[in-house]
Structure 1
Amino acid sequence: MQLSNSTEMQTKKNDMPYYQPNNPKSPSAEELNEKCKQIEQSISAAETLKGDNNFLNYIIRKEQVLFSGIYSQIFACHNHQEPDSTLICRMFQTNANIDPLNDVFLKILRFIGRKSQNIVGTYDIFYDQTRRIYLFQELANRGNVLEYLKAGTFVEPTQAIKWAFSIWEAMDFLGSIGVAHRSIRPKHIMLKTNPLSGTMIAKLGSFRDSIIYWNRETGSVVTVKKSPWSEIKFANFQAPESFSKDDGGAFDPISADVWSFGATFFYIIARLYPFDLYKANDIPTVEQEIHHRINSSGALKPEAKKWFMDLLNVDPNKRIRFDDIVNDPWFRSEIN
């Protein structure tokens, strides 16, 4: 369900990418079973020394280090068969403890590949004899949104909403294949210059925390165990219902991703986290903080404030549904 311009958006059917029981507009259980089966039964990575793969076509430029961390490094690279593509190689060391044959993160990336223009494209994934992982992806030449904001760049709300639409489309694609991202935040929205128009486009990246949200055995959406409430001060754009004071319970990852989406774009436009992480004593306090920060933001029109209120509702049962996000009149007016 890819939308390329405003006319297509106006005529787009109200399809629902995430599963909803008894709703003919959502993907069927059979469709999700097939997609999830393909992901689950695939191999995470190919062997570098296997003769019929593409590994030897990649030239890793180890002198051009783009990132260096404890568990991985990112290098510039080139592929002779992709002369028009600017690529990176993310090399995960063995201490990253990524299983090259069964890691869900890698399986999801391999399945997505380059199927969605709104997700950072994955070209190939390999592993060597030491179980080091080589992840070849497209380069987001403008970095991530968090870096972009920290550089002091102001983002016009109209520009932010165009990026939001791109990320919504990425989530739309993920929902149709049974995947929830589980870590939508500014750091994981990558920016790239469109080579044709020169405009800056946004793509969803970093699937390290992504999950398969569909349980083929039960034919239902999985729930995720809540984290201790004490960890809410490290929320990283996670929904309030992701945390529990009694060390129990579970939450719906689809609705939680909707909150993360809203929190991310509120941060981009208002330059504020939706609530004060250190004053978050309970859900009512969080709700009060969210309302205060949205209502007091001078960067938002009244219609935008309503949109964010719907996205950031602390009650997942009252939160706006994913498919209704782009049907909001203000959102549509900004895109068009």
Structure 2
Amino acid sequence: MPFYTKRMVRFLEGKEGKHKRKHSHNKPEKGLRIAPSTVGADGGGGGSSSAKSGVKGSSVGGGGGGGSTSGGKPSEAEVLTAEPKEQIPDNAFDQKKLQFMKTMLKAAVDRIDKEKASLPVSHRYFSRYAIQTDKLVAETAACKVYKAQHQDFKDNVLAVKTYEGEHGIDGNGAVWLKILRILGKKHPNVIQTWDVFFSPEENNKLLIIQELANKGSLATHLNSNQVDEKQAGSWLWQLLKAIDYLGDVGVSHRSIQPKHILLTNKDLKLKLTGFESAAVYWDPVKEDIKNVACVPLEQRPTDPNAPSFQAPEVYGDPAKEEFDPMVADVWSIGATAYYMLTKQYPYDISKVDTISADIQSNISKIQGISDDGKRCLSEMLKPTATERKYIDKLMSDPWLKGFR
């Protein structure tokens, strides 16, 4: 089921115009009774059916014309001109759809809230994994990544992220760990999470077991490879599908960027990772988007070589300002797509006064991409959040049709 954005919710609530009915009132709907034509020289009375009058195929009444045909079936003229006996309210379809969407999101958020962030290492599932500590895949300041194997699925190469010491992660309650466990292995463009284990007794050890993306990150791939419009469009479509799925389960990623996109197999299939900043965007009580407080303005990056891929509205006064995380994610998607094609950020982050003009100018200069592609990038990279294209519209963009 496709994800409907805040704009769609507002649209169905009647705050952005009237939704078109799927069925036209010019045609009777199946099962509705058709009123017979009025006949007779005096202009009154309904025409009798030929079956009742005993005259096959004839019209009846002193004035002639307009009666039903044999068997009580309405004539073609009656079918074309008759109105339904009972009209369906114009907003009936919209209200049912809207309520279904809200119910779906409430159930998704409730499930995340009730999910355990991790399992203890004493759980029987833990013994099913063999962690190969002699095979280090990667290492960061926060964790080490080793290869792992599941005893029942030995053909699946896994990776285990190992955190120890003062890592600052609540292994028993972190929302992003709950999100990982909910996502599991459900979407082909979201990194598979097999299990999460936590052992506070063993130096606060946290183990996140996921599939191993054997081609590394998009950021690493771009260091030594050029990407054409066809490949960038394919990756963008896969990324949109991943974000669309997250929307269905009430989640905003909040950190879409090249280093959080992994590639697998010979065809370089895209896998979204990096969920540490992920948030639940839907408020089931208010039945509305749950905005996020802005990041302090002084934390906005100014080094052109280290952009954050965050939307402009993300930075501000957290005491007074907030932003829609789903709309901000669209900016991050656009900035990532731009980076795929140019290996650069869409504008110089040390200069914010001319951001809009700079972005449009830079997009127009991209080599080897169609005008439709440039238009799509431009619509994602609007500095003003309310002017930015929404996920549901991007999913149906003409440029992306060729990459599905």
Normalising by the residue count of structure 2, what TM-score does the alignment of the two structures yield? 0.74
Structure 1 counterpart of 2:155: 84
Instruction: Output the CA distance in 1 between the equivalents of 2:327 and 2:231.
Output: 25
Matched, 1:258 2:333: no
Q: How much does 1:329 deviate?
A: 1.6
Which residue, 274, 298, 320 being the options, matches 1:206?
A: 274
Q: Is the 8 A contact 2:293 2:319 kept in 1?
A: no
Structure 1 counterpart of 2:17: none
Q: How much does 1:172 deviate?
A: 0.9
Structure 1 counterpart of 2:185: 114
Q: Is the 8 A contact 2:5 2:390 kept in 1?
A: no
Which residue, 233, 237, 245 being the options, matches 1:173?
A: 245
Structure 2 counterpart of 1:16: 3
Which residue, 109, 112, 115 being the options, matches 1:42?
A: 115
Residue 289 of structure 1 aligns with an amino acid whose one-letter code is D
Residue 184 of structure 1 aligns with an amino acid whose one-letter code is I
Moved more, 302-311 or 323-332: 323-332
Instruction: Output the CA distance in 2 between the equivalents of 1:212 and 1:246.
Output: 18
Matched, 1:105 2:176: yes
Matched, 1:296 2:365: yes
The one-character-per-residue Cα deviations of 1:113-166 (angstroms, maximum 9, x if unpaired) are 00111100000111122331111000000000001111x211121011111111
Pairwise mapping of residues 152-301 of structure 1 onto structure 2 (< 5 A)? 152-193=224-265, 198-230=266-298, 231-233=300-302, 235-244=307-316, 248-280=320-352, 282=353, 285-301=354-370
Q: How much does 1:84 deviate?
A: 2.0
Moved more, 314-323 or 224-233: 224-233
Instruction: Output the CA distance in 1 between the equivalents of 2:357 and 2:11.
Output: 35
Structure 1 counterpart of 2:383: 314
SS of residue paired to 2:134: strand
Aligned length: 312
Find the structure with the greater CA-based Rg.
2
Q: How much does 1:227 deviate?
A: 2.2
With over 3 angstroms needed to count, the CA separation of the structure-2 counterparts of 1:132 and 1:296, relative to structure 1, is: same
Matched, 1:96 2:164: no
Structure 2 counterpart of 1:58: 129
Residue 3 of structure 2 aligns with an amino acid whose one-letter code is M
Q: How much does 1:224 deviate?
A: 1.2
Matched, 1:140 2:213: yes
Residue 85 of structure 1 aligns with an amino acid whose one-letter code is N
Residue 209 of structure 1 aligns with an amino acid whose one-letter code is S
The one-character-per-residue Cα deviations of 1:71-103 (angstroms, maximum 9, x if unpaired) are 211001111111221100101113112112111
With over 3 angstroms needed to count, the CA separation of the structure-2 counterparts of 1:300 and 1:229, relative to structure 1, is: farther
Instruction: Output the CA distance in 1 between the equivalents of 2:192 and 2:207.
Output: 14
Q: How much does 1:246 deviate?
A: 9.2
Between 1 and 2, higher relative CO (CA 8 Å, sep ≥ 6) is seen in 1
Q: How much does 1:248 deviate?
A: 3.6
Alignment RMSD: 1.8
- Aligned residues: percent identity? 28
* Structure 1 outlier segments of 4+, above 6 Å: none
Structure 2 counterpart of 1:124: 195
Instruction: Output the CA distance in 2 between the equivalents of 1:273 and 1:124.
Output: 35
Structure 1 counterpart of 2:78: none
The one-character-per-residue Cα deviations of 1:296-324 (angstroms, maximum 9, x if unpaired) are 22232222111111010111111111111
SS of residue paired to 1:84: strand
SS of residue paired to 2:172: coil
Q: How much does 1:245 deviate?
A: 7.0
Normalising by the residue count of structure 1, what TM-score does the alignment of the two structures yield? 0.88
Structure 1 counterpart of 2:35: none
Instruction: Output the CA distance in 2 between the equivalents of 1:31 and 1:302.
Output: 38
The one-character-per-residue Cα deviations of 1:150-204 (angstroms, maximum 9, x if unpaired) are 1x211121011111111111111100010000000000110000xxxx4111011
Unaligned stretches of 5+ residues in structure 1: 2-14
Instruction: Output the CA distance in 1 between the equivalents of 2:264 and 2:336.
Output: 18
Instruction: Output the CA distance in 2 between the equivalents of 1:218 and 1:246.
Output: 21
